[in-house]
Amino acid sequence: MNPHLRSGIALVICAPSGTGKTTLTRRLIEEFPRFAFSVSCTTREPRPNEKNGEDYEFLSRQEFERRRDAGFFAEWAEVHGNYYGTPLEATRRLLAEGRDVLFDIDVQGASQLRRTIPGARLIYILPPSRAELERRLRSRGTESEESTLRRLSAAATELAQAHWFNLWIINDDLEEAWQELRAAYIAATLSPVRRPGFLNGLLKEWGDTA
């Protein structure tokens, strides 16, 4: 392995609906375009202009389940009757090439990635309070009362899992939360485990010149 090649980071970001995760992850991608994305698999039907192998790899339900049972996916979930999954080996290959991979997923997927990619950095974005989360959901103007209450209930279930994440970011102020997310990502890139061969290679130069 090239000692100067940095191993990639699997950055996993989770949050309840309405916490601001989409805005924050979009800013991260815009500032750091080096993030890579492996082509996910799904059992849903292709939409117009979607290309197999580029937007998704479209699979039959039977083929998806066969791959799932064979350990093909780093994480997978069933959403609205369709399966979605991220190929494990493709993700590992990107990481080995020094590419960072961003996962914007739910707690269930993060739990799977915690096992399949042990070095993943898990970040949970929390609302400052239940009242503020409810205010944000209602201010969208797109949710019915039933949907709002359902999302608040789901948030409580998800938040109960936040304790096993590596980092918490409380999105009370969007700009402050962004600066914390940015700093967390940069700090992860500076970890010694990201350049496993660099120090030995550097010290070897002293041996070569002794």
Asked if residue 210 has pLDDT above 60, the reply is no
pLDDT at 4: 55
Indicate the average pLDDT of the chain. Answer: 90
User: Contact at 8 Å (CB) between 88 and 103?
Assistant: no
Q: What digits encode the pLDDT tens for the residues 109-137?
A: 999 999 999 999 999 999 999 999 999 88
User: Contact at 8 Å (CB) between 74 and 116?
Assistant: yes
DSSP 55: T
Q: What digits encode the pLDDT tens for the residues 181-206?
A: 999 999 999 988 888 788 888 888 88
Domains and their CATH numbers in the chain: 10-37+99-209 (3.40.50.300)
Asked if residue 14 has pLDDT above 60, the reply is yes
Global pTM value: 0.85
In 75-164, where does DSSP find H-type helix?
Answer: 88-96, 107-116, 130-139, 145-159
Asked if residue 176 has pLDDT above 50, the reply is yes
Task: Give, in degrees to the nearest 5, the angle at Cα 178 between 176 and 179.
Answer: 65
Q: What digits encode the pLDDT tens for the residues 64-85?
A: 999 999 999 999 998 878 999 9
pLDDT at 1: 47
Q: Mean per-residue pLDDT for 87-105?
A: 92
Asked if residue 209 has pLDDT above 60, the reply is no
Q: Mean per-residue pLDDT for 4-22?
A: 88
Q: Mean per-residue pLDDT for 15-30?
A: 92
Tell how strand 41-42 and strand 35-36 pair up. Answer: unpaired
